[in-house]
Structure 1
């Protein structure tokens, strides 16, 4: 797969929106769940093509929903603080380059423990990791 600057930028922005409060370990885990979607071999019409396609697929990562409070930062309407974005870029690059191992055990899904109820899909999935405020899953029905 050929990566471009958009893939790296969109993955880093997704990490800012989904996991900036989870530290580097949490950002790496979220990035790996995205990488696992990129490389899982499923029909790309479902996940999207490449990192940008997976991150921007409708309703897959809530930070990209137009009504999400993170969206103005991700879309460029508001500036992401440079230091925070640099950390997101480092985590994104480390996962894309395979510098850090997958702590999620092959997860393709996660949800935040701050949600009032687990999503329906979690009932039939295999939990692989709980890290910070995220729970990760694979084998999602």
Structure 2
């Protein structure tokens, strides 16, 4: 699949919204989980199509929910700090361009360990990686 400039921008903004405090490696891991959804092998995925479709699918990445405080930044109403967005763009480009291996082992889900309670789906899924403040999973029921 060929990624558009919009796909790259939406992925970078999603990385900022979901993982702005993480290292470049942490943002790459989140981007790989998103890429794994994009490349799930289905013609019409319920996760959405393409990077923008997957990132902005309703209730998949909370930073895109209109009631999330990050949404004002992601939608352009407020400006994302340049250096933070620049790192997210590097991670997005490296993942989209296939320049980095998937450190998540095929994960399609993750959650931030800062959550008070892990999501229910995590109990039956296969954990593949813990990196920074995120735990990654595949085979999510």
What's the TM-score, normalizing by structure 2? 0.97
Residues in 1 aligned to 2:115 and 2:60: alpha-carbon distance in whole angstroms: 15
Deviations 1:27-78 (A, max 9, x none): 0000000000000113634110000000000000000011111111000000
Q: Aligned ranges for residues 120-131 of structure 1 at < 5 Å?
A: 120-131=120-131
Which structure is higher in helix share? 1
Residues in 2 aligned to 1:62 and 1:49: alpha-carbon distance in whole angstroms: 18
- Aligned residue-pair number: 141
Q: Aligned ranges for residues 28-107 of structure 1 at < 5 Å?
A: 28-42=28-42, 44-107=44-107
Residues in 2 aligned to 1:58 and 1:2: alpha-carbon distance in whole angstroms: 23
Q: Secondary structure at the match of 1:51?
A: helix
> Structure 2, unaligned stretches of length 5 or more?
none
> Structure 1, unaligned stretches of length 5 or more?
none
Across the aligned residues of Structure 1 and Structure 2, the Cα RMSD in angstroms comes to: 0.9
- Structure 1 residue ranges, 4+ long, deviating more than 4 angstroms after superposition: none
What's the TM-score, normalizing by structure 1? 0.97
Residues in 2 aligned to 1:23 and 1:71: alpha-carbon distance in whole angstroms: 22
Residues in 1 aligned to 2:137 and 2:42: alpha-carbon distance in whole angstroms: 16
The residue number in structure 1 matching 2:115 is 115
